[in-house]
Amino acid sequence: MRISIFGLGYVGCVSLGCLAQNGNNIIGVDIETVKVDLINQGKPTIIEKDIDDILAAQHALGRIRATSDAFDAVANSEVSIICVGTPSGPEGHLNLEYIYKTAAQIGEVLKQKKEFHVVALRSTVLPGTNMKVGEIIEQTSGKQRNVDFSVVSNPEFLREGTAVADYYNPPYTVIGSDNDQAISIMKEIYSPVAGTVEIVDIKVAELIKYINNSYHALKVVFANEVGSVCKKLGINSHEVMRLFCLDTKLNLSPYYFKPGFAYGGSCLPKDLKALQTLAHDYYLNVPVINSIEASNNISKNSLLDLVIKKGKRKVVSWESVLRPVLTIFAIVLLSM
Ligand SMILES: NC(=O)c1ccc[n+]([C@@H]2O[C@H](COP(=O)([O-])OP(=O)(O)OC[C@H]3O[C@@H](n4cnc5c(N)ncnc54)[C@H](O)[C@@H]3O)[C@@H](O)[C@H]2O)c1
């Protein structure tokens, strides 16, 4: 397939090399001429294991080239993958300036293009960006979304340092789309890549990267807080976390991962409180462990607000109904 890649930084450079290695013809685009020149010499714009050899080989085969001319790239490709940067602004908001500029550039070219074109958003962007990119392309091209072109969300999960290996072995390939033609084109592109292809709603595809990365950050922080408790008690924290990870039934599993109501019962609140108190007694600062209960209370209160809003005076709590029934059942069983 003929593919153009906008942004030749980390994600763009790896995608360019790996997609070419899979037999595609790639045109890279960047506003930095130094990056364009490097690709045109068959050299990477980043330092990353294996990428030098891949680019040298694909350059020799004539499968890769780069330009700073968006017209050349879009006119000579069926799919444009956007990998431009999305840095944080001064107040932490996402700066989507480069994404929207790229969308306008692609739209300008599509004005003159007859064939159906797929635009894939590979950069990490917040929900709603896909729709906005589609609107920009419609305005600049005068063409219609899902008739003349389509915008799909296709987040990247690679990690710097293992980027090439991660490209070929992602946890899954996510395609957020509302168009069957675009889905089949994207599926073909990723057919040589390991793992399942997950076709999902566009906003799900846009959000998942943020959820994944926030959870990864939470894992690191949680393990470090466990580490500080262990250190104070003279316990081997690596041994504790090894055992923790061995439990793939409740710890590292889909269990407890369905959004819904707060946790309750007797054990979770009691044992969490005990760990919090232990840390407090040792003057340990464990803000993540300490904030779990507060977050749980927010879930409880939001349910209470919902019940109050309904204005009903009689409310049944299933736990209060089920517990006495189960207790009586157990007493009957024991006395038999
Ligand atoms: N680096 C990672 O490990 C990683 C992993 C997954 C996802 N991501 C996401 O992918 C996106 C790109 O990240 P990156 O690390 O490759 O960024 P980067 O800063 O390394 O590269 C971005 C490139 O886009 C170019 N660019 C900006 N505007 C352009 C335009 N109009 N046309 C063409 N090129 C333009 C820049 O010159 C730069 O070379 C970000 O949204 C990032 O969050 C990054």
- How is residue 328 written in tokens? 């009586």
For the stretch 189-200, what's the b/e string if a residue is b when 16 or more beta carbons lie within 10 angstroms of its beta carbon?
bbeebeeeeebe
* The ligand 1 atom nearest the CA atom of 155: 7
Q: Is 11 exposed, middle or buried (0-12, 13-18, 19+ CB in 10 A)?
A: buried
**Ligand 1 atom 15: residue of nearest CA:** 10
**Ligand 1 atom 20: residue of nearest CA:** 9
CA of 334 to the centre of ligand 1 (A): 66
Full-model pTM:
0.90
Residues designated catalytic: 267
16 CB within 6 A, ligand 1: no
CA of 228 to the centre of ligand 1 (A): 36
48 CB within 6 A, ligand 1: no
81 CB within 6 A, ligand 1: no
| Tens digit of pLDDT at every position of the chain (336 positions) | 999 999 999 999 999 999 999 999 999 999 999 999 999 999 999 999 999 999 999 999 999 999 999 999 999 999 999 999 999 988 889 999 999 999 999 999 999 999 999 999 999 999 999 999 999 999 999 999 999 999 999 999 999 999 999 999 999 999 999 999 999 999 999 999 999 999 999 999 999 999 999 999 999 999 999 999 999 999 999 999 999 999 999 999 999 999 999 999 989 999 999 999 999 999 999 999 999 999 999 998 888 888 888 888 777 776 655 555 555 555 555 555
- CATH architecture assigned to 212-335: 3-Layer(aba) Sandwich (3.40)
CA of 190 to the centre of ligand 1 (A): 20
Every domain of the chain and the residues it spans: 2-200, 212-335
124 CB within 6 A, ligand 1: yes
**Ligand 1 atom 12: residue of nearest CA:** 85
CA of 257 to the centre of ligand 1 (A): 31
Q: Does domain 2-200 have CATH number 1.10.150.130?
A: no
Contacts 24+ apart (CB under 8 A), 261-265: 261/299, 261/300, 261/303, 262/296, 262/297, 262/299, 262/300, 262/303, 263/296, 264/319
CA of 63 to the centre of ligand 1 (A): 22
Let me know if the fold of 2-200 is the same as that of 212-335. yes
